[in-house]
Amino acid sequence: MENKNEISKRVLSGERIAVARAITLVENEDAWSIKILEDIYSATGRAYRVGITGPPGAGKSTITNKLAAAYRKQNLKVGIIAVDPTSPFTGGALLGDRVRMTEVEMDGNVFIRSMASRGSLGGLSKKATEAADILDAAGYDIILMETVGVGQSELDIAGAVDTTIVVLVPESGDSIQAMKAGLMEIADFFVLNKSDRAGADQAVMSIKMILNFKPKKNGWQADVIQTVASEGKGIDKIVETIYLHRKYLEDSNKLNDKRQKRMVNRIQELVKEKLHFEFWDETRENFLQLNIENVVRKELTPYDLAEKLLQNFKE
């Protein structure tokens, strides 16, 4: 299969092993990956992409599992991408995989892939999007992208999916705190998981109160769904709300706008990478190395040196 046309062809026919191989090439930033992504591009856009984010321990993996099972009952093919920007400290990606495998194991219509950020220099959400494209082109109907909410990652995921779900738990602490800073903007709806625990009603109330302050996006009002995912409670309601949100996006033509905006960002990223790659040829690398000593010795500022390098590029 080590032929990129062959891989592309097999991805398009939905071959599991080719999908796995293609995602690995994407993950390794292999030169082939961009060719495969080009080959399959026209077959993308059919899958619906759902992002699931929230703090560690909120039960995102369990919810993702249960959602996968629910969609399987509708006979849909499900792709799961677990984006794990948490560090070696937690080992989250690996554990997540194992938990998931016991649940949806052996079902040829569920494809699971964890992508961790270990050591790689960013670009995780780009890679996750490319992996989603591969699953999309391979005929997966629903793609669930799960990420732990740390800093930038939950904002990135919102830019990569059609519907974003933010999962909280009663003990997430101050829900008002949790609502701040971008979360209000990215959540299409909230899930309060483990809502059989103490403090659930109060947490729901706080979230609703804050949601009421939010101007309604003409026609869509974010809400809170209570779940006990480990017992399967509330999962149907999530499925229904995803459906309603999708319908809202489609009917208002917002889905198209959203995907267009996503594509603009992606093209800008592609250009940025390419520019960087083309800029740093041998001549400029050498020029940088020759002058860096002067910067360290404070005879030249880094801003001056950057300017000199750029001057030469433009001429």
- Which residues in the 154-193 window bind a second copy by CB under 8 A? 154-155, 172-174, 177-183
Q: In angstroms, give the least distance from the CB of 44 to a second copy.
A: 8
Closest CA to 67 of 225, 256, 258, 249: 225
x/- track of binding to a second copy for residues 113-142 (CB under 8 A): ----xxx-xx-x------------------
The nearer residue to a second copy, 74 or 120, going by C-beta atoms, is: 120
Helix ranges (H only) for 225-301 are: 235-251, 254-279, 282-296
Q: Angle between the 60-73 and 235-251 helix axes, to the nearest 10 degrees?
A: 70
20 binds a second copy (CB under 8 A): no
150 binds a second copy (CB under 8 A): yes
CB atoms within 10 A of CB 109: 18
Q: Which of 1, 17, 101, 306 binds a second copy (CB under 8 A)?
A: 306
Q: Are 107 and 73 in contact (CB under 8 A)?
A: no
Q: In angstroms, give the least distance from the CB of 230 to a second copy.
A: 21
x/- track of binding to a second copy for residues 64-93 (CB under 8 A): --------------------xxxxxxxx--
Q: Which of 13, 28, 202, 301 binds a second copy (CB under 8 A)?
A: 301
CA distance 127 to 155: 15
Q: In angstroms, give the least distance from the CB of 151 to a second copy.
A: 4
The nearer residue to a second copy, 73 or 314, going by C-beta atoms, is: 314
Closest CA to 234 of 226, 242, 243, 245: 226
Q: Is 67 exposed, middle or buried (0-12, 13-18, 19+ CB in 10 A)?
A: buried
| CA end-to-end span of the chain | 45
| Interface with a second copy in residues 195-254 (CB under 8 A) | none
Q: Which of 272, 283, 286, 312 binds a second copy (CB under 8 A)?
A: 272
Q: In angstroms, give the least distance from the CB of 208 to a second copy.
A: 18
CA distance 212 to 300: 55
Q: In angstroms, give the least distance from the CB of 272 to a second copy.
A: 5
Q: In angstroms, give the least distance from the CB of 239 to a second copy.
A: 25
Which uninterrupted H or E stretch holds 104? helix 92-104
CA distance 15 to 1: 11
Q: Which stretch binds a second copy (CB under 8 A): 19-27, 32-40, 61-69, 211-219?
A: 32-40
Report which residue type is found at 253: N
271 binds a second copy (CB under 8 A): yes
Q: Which of 6, 38, 201, 251 binds a second copy (CB under 8 A)?
A: 38
Q: Which of 98, 214, 217, 274 binds a second copy (CB under 8 A)?
A: 274
The nearer residue to a second copy, 38 or 250, going by C-beta atoms, is: 38
Quick one: tokens of 90? 């937690």
Give the Å distances, CA to CA, from 92 to 61, 89, 114, 126.
10, 8, 10, 20
Q: Which of 99, 231, 250, 280 binds a second copy (CB under 8 A)?
A: 280
Listed in sequence order, the residues at least 6 apart from 177 whose beta carbon sits closer than 8 Å to its beta carbon are none
54 binds a second copy (CB under 8 A): yes
CA distance 194 to 92: 20
Q: In angstroms, give the least distance from the CB of 302 to a second copy.
A: 5
The nearer residue to a second copy, 205 or 306, going by C-beta atoms, is: 306
Q: In angstroms, give the least distance from the CB of 203 to a second copy.
A: 13
